[in-house]
Amino acid sequence: MASGFFALLDDIAVLMDDVAAMTKITTKKTAGILGDDLAVNAEKASGFLSSREIPVLWAITKGSFLNKLIILPLAFLMSAFLPWSVIVVLVLGGLYLAYEGAEKIYEVFVPHKKTETVDLKKDYTEEELLDLEKTKIKSAIVTDFILSVEIVIIALGSVVNEPLTTQIIVVSIVALIATVGVYGIVAMIVRMDDLGLKLISKSNGSKGVLFAIGTFLVWALPKLIKSLSVIGTIALILVAGGIFVHNIEYFHHFLEQIPAIIRDFIVGLAVGAVCLIVVKAFKMIFFRKSLNH
């Protein structure tokens, strides 16, 4: 009886060691898309009145938890009964990531209409502000759902050959990190300017350490969000390229003589550019057909 109990403890210890090792590897593989998730949500959670930033972010966070509760069981069922489909979904997701990364680069050089911008100088009624919040929250949750699918599938793809128990534990931990970690950091980012203003108000005029730190925090917030956007775009392309290189035989032997990170970027950007051209062509054809009708 005692020996059986200790054997069980030993099995649990081995399982936890495997889970810890696999979680570390999987988190590294999803780090790129987590960076983009952070950049996207920091941008979507900003632009509100100071008193509404945290409530809005909390609403998005709850939506993100719900997304994970929907995605995780479906992913585990897919892994258990159709394991080959994990790679298919992974590659399809890579196409989306590559397209999104290429589109962001395209938008830098080609003027485009900005959406979801809240003009804080305009006199909105309370009802209008709530409607604007709901619209932006819904948009953020939809974006989170897409990114969550990719995070879960990339994580699952990393442990698809492991026992189902290990898959469930590892992928669930990564999903939890993706929500708690990302939105916790976003909360700190969007409150940077408020902390800066408080430090400035407590400083002695325009001198002193508090004033300098406060001024820096207020100045740094928009720069940080913009930097995260750039880093996130690069990360999207790298993650997509890595998916293609490791799961498509042709790309696996493509430009083997150059560093892997450069190869992943080239492959991701090239595939993303093709996807972008195809999507733009379809939109143009559809637009012309709608005009003719």
pTM of this structure: 0.69
pLDDT for residue 30: 54
Q: Looking at the domain assignment, is residue 213 inside a domain?
A: no
Contact, 276 vs 107, CB < 8 A? no
pLDDT (tens digit, 9 = 90+) per residue, 149-164? 878 887 887 777 777 7
Q: Looking at the domain assignment, is residue 199 inside a domain?
A: no
pLDDT for residue 277: 93
pLDDT (tens digit, 9 = 90+) per residue, 121-151? 455 566 766 777 788 788 778 777 877 887 8
pLDDT (tens digit, 9 = 90+) per residue, 155-203? 887 777 777 787 888 888 888 887 887 778 777 777 787 778 787 887 7
Expressed as residue numbers, the domain containing 71 is: 2-193+223-292
Q: Looking at the domain assignment, is residue 209 inside a domain?
A: no
Q: Looking at the domain assignment, is residue 218 inside a domain?
A: no
Q: Looking at the domain assignment, is residue 39 inside a domain?
A: yes
Q: Looking at the domain assignment, is residue 200 inside a domain?
A: no
Residue with tokens 């780090």: 31
* Rounded distance between C-alpha atoms, residue 145 and residue 67, angstroms: 6
pLDDT for residue 14: 42
Calculate what percentage of the chain has a pLDDT beyond 70.
73
pLDDT for residue 275: 93
- Token readout for 97 is 């990531």
* Rounded distance between C-alpha atoms, residue 28 and residue 20, angstroms: 13
Question: Per the structure, how many domains does the chain have?
Answer: 1
pLDDT for residue 126: 64
